[in-house]
């Protein structure tokens, strides 16, 4: 009954869902001729019975990348097909084309899922984090395809939502073979929702296993020289609408004390690149964009308007502010700058990364700021106190190194299902 009602609703609201996905926006990358893949009309895989790994967008794809490399190192002949829902996630998956095939994931219409499974014929489904769709799980169960959720997290906020619709959650969880949780708190929340203990394991967060090759450090150093080797440089990464204004206000305050300071501003979504560029100009700040080749020392804001280059821009900066945290978005990945040994600042909204935030906070590896004034004051202090700035970065890197190992534990859990 619940499944039937869900399918009526998803078809009833399909025009809105499709409009949200496909409606053109300035700067938003289109799906091009590949849009029918969302309806299950995917090209057949050149691989026989691949493992299907789903990573919805950029964040999940970043976490999945070291896992994919580890799986291929352990099982070089194992075919892997990666799906994403977004174009930006697809662009990251394309960088692994020597290891995996990519398709866009089917939307959760039962006929689209059935068509996808018929054409791909996967041997198992691995879902990164907690992207659970009823028709996906039901269709896999009917075909006896094992389903695992990897790097799973369940915040108290999400658990409360699932509890309100407990029958729906039970319908989902009954079709999952195993959930590899990041932390004991996540596992306990799943248990409280009725998931059996023998379906759960605790592997840690794969995001701690992120590593950057020498190329990132080299390119970061090259960018630093281009931007101004001796200038105070900070980066605001993965920012959102309503947050960029606060970032720029903080930078203007910083400039009153350090007039040669440079802000690298990297919006979370590419469709906002032009909008943010206009905002910088409205604030009477001199702007240079990453897509432009030339750079002037008079530049006050450097806009990171390319995809896949955030790590090298982080490497080029002295201090990192992680966005999605000065507004109620729950923050973004704190471990990318931590892995590079950077001093980290964040706003108070970190509910998406509570455990990681707490670990960094306990080791004095980050500073929380509540508004643009506090952000500016903290930047001024850190730029004037190099020893404290470097210690923050060293503490952050130590937290990353002390929590590695999730990929090895995850591989152990995956093995029986392959």
Range name among 55-69, 97-111, 376-390 with the lowest pLDDT average: 55-69
One domain, residues 368 and 397 = yes
One domain, residues 347 and 230 = yes
Give 294's pLDDT tier (boundaries 50, 70, 90): confident
CATH of the domain at 328: 3.40.50.2000
Domain that holds residue 122: 27-205+405-417
CATH of the domain at 162: 3.40.50.11720
pTM of the entire predicted model: 0.81
In a domain, 296, yes or no: yes
Residue 173 has a pLDDT of 86
Structure token digits, residue 196: 């059996």
Percent share of the chain, pLDDT over 70: 99
- Rounded CA separation 303/389 (Å): 24
In a domain, 378, yes or no: yes
Q: Using the predicted structure, report yes or no on whether residue 397 has a pLDDT greater than 90.
A: yes
One domain, residues 199 and 283 = no
In a domain, 186, yes or no: yes
One domain, residues 85 and 127 = yes
Q: Answer yes or no: are the C-beta atoms of 311 and 67 closer than 8 Å.
A: no
One domain, residues 200 and 81 = yes
Q: Using the predicted structure, report yes or no on whether residue 68 has a pLDDT greater than 90.
A: yes
Kind and range of the H or E run holding 37 = none
Structure token digits, residue 19: 């409009």
Residue 393 has a pLDDT of 98
In this predicted model, which residue has the larger pLDDT, 248 or 163? 248
One domain, residues 254 and 170 = no
Structure token digits, residue 278: 């206009």
Cα separations (Å) of 311 from 69, 227, 286, 339?
Answer: 18, 16, 24, 10
Q: Using the predicted structure, report yes or no on whether residue 116 has a pLDDT greater than 80.
A: yes
Structure token digits, residue 191: 């248990």
One domain, residues 116 and 143 = yes
> Known catalytic residue: 60?
yes
Candidates 37, 60, 101, 336; catalytic one: 60
Give 210's pLDDT tier (boundaries 50, 70, 90): confident
One domain, residues 377 and 411 = no
Residue 266 has a pLDDT of 97
In this predicted model, which residue has the larger pLDDT, 132 or 294? 132
Percent share of the chain, pLDDT over 90: 72
Give 26's pLDDT tier (boundaries 50, 70, 90): low
The SS3 of residue 354 is helix
């Amino acid at each position: 009954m619940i499944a039937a009602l869900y399918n009526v609703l998803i078809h009833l609201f399909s025009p809105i869902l499709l409009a949200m996905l496909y409606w053109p926006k300035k700067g938003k990358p289109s799906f091009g001729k590949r849009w029918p893949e969302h309806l299950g009309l995917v090209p057949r895989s050149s691989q026989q019975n691949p493992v299907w790994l789903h990573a919805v967008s950029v964040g999940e794809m970043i976490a999945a990348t070291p896992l994919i490399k580890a799986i291929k190192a352990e099982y070089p002949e194992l075919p892997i097909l990666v799906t994403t829902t977004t174009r930006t996630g697809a662009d990251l998956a394309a960088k692994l084309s020597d290891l995996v095939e990519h398709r866009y994931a089917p939307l959760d219409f039962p006929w689209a899922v059935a068509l996808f499974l018929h054409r791909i014929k996967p041997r198992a489904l691995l879902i990164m984090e907690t992207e659970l769709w009823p028709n996906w799980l039901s269709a896999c169960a009917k075909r006896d395809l094992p389903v695992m959720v990897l790097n799973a997290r369940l915040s108290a906020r999400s658990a409360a939502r699932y509890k309100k619709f407990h029958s729906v959650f039970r319908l989902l969880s009954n079709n999952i073979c195993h959930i590899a949780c990041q932390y004991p708190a996540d596992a306990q929340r799943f248990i409280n929702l009725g998931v059996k203990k023998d379906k759960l394991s605790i592997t840690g967060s794969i995001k701690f296993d992120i590593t950057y090759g020498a190329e990132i450090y080299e390119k970061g150093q090259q960018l630093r020289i281009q931007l101004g080797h001796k200038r105070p440089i900070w980066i605001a990464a993965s920012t959102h609408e309503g947050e960029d204004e606060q970032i720029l206000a903080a930078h203007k305050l910083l400039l009153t004390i350090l007039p040669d300071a440079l802000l690298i501003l990297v919006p979370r979504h590419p469709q906002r690149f032009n909008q943010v560029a206009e905002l910088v100009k409205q604030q009477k700040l001199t702007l240079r964009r990453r897509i432009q080749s030339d750079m002037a020392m008079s530049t006050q804001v450097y806009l990171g308007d390319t995809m896949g280059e955030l790590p090298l821009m982080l490497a080029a900066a002295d201090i990192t502010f992680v966005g999605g945290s000065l507004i109620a978005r729950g923050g973004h990945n704190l471990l990318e700058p931590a892995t590079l040994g950077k001093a980290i600042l964040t706003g108070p909204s970190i509910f998406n990364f509570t455990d990681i935030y707490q670990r960094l906070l306990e080791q004095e590896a980050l500073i929380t700021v509540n508004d643009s004034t506090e952000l500016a004051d903290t930047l001024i202090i850190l730029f004037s106190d190099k020893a404290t700035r470097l210690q923050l970065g060293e503490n952050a890197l130590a937290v990353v190194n002390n929590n590695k190992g999730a990929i090895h534990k995850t591989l152990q859990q995956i093995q029986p299902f392959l």
